[in-house]
């Protein structure tokens, strides 16, 4: 039996969790342990294609942030989201 495909609501839920962690980091709070735990949970989730779909959603989120922030004030937050994508791309 194959694992179920990722439901869009599940993808958005996890992308939003990553965004909240990035917001914490942006505000100077420790974020690395939470980022690592969430990335591991998404990578090992029984839904087979969750990690790449969440990574894709984060990429879209990054695009929206960068488009709305030409001065780059949110660059640290974007960097954390890019770090999350890198963690999701691991095997």
Residue 6 has a pLDDT of 80
Residue 1 has a pLDDT of 53
Instruction: Spell out a b/e string for 20-48, using b for 16 or more CB atoms within 10 Å of the CB, else e.
Output: ebbebbbeeeebeebbeebbeebbebebe
The answer to pTM > 0.75 is: yes
Query: What CA–CA distance (Å, rounded) separates 42 from 87?
Result: 10
Query: What CA–CA distance (Å, rounded) separates 56 from 44?
Result: 17
Nearest CA among 84, 62, 83, 87 for reference residue 74: 62
Can you give the pLDDT of all 91 residues of the chain as single tens digits? 566 778 999 999 999 999 999 999 999 999 999 999 999 999 999 998 999 999 999 999 999 999 999 999 999 999 999 999 999 998 7
Residue 91 has a pLDDT of 72
């Amino acid at each position: 039996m194959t694992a179920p495909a990722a439901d869009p609501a599940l993808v958005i839920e996890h992308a939003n969790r990553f965004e909240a962690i990035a917001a914490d980091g942006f505000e100077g709070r420790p974020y690395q342990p939470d980022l690592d735990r969430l990335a591991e949970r998404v990578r090992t989730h029984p839904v087979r294609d969750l990690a790449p779909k969440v990574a894709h959603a984060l990429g879209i989120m990054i695009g929206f942030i960068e488009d709305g922030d030409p001065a780059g004030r949110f660059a640290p937050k974007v960097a954390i989201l890019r770090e999350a994508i890198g963690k999701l791309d691991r095997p």
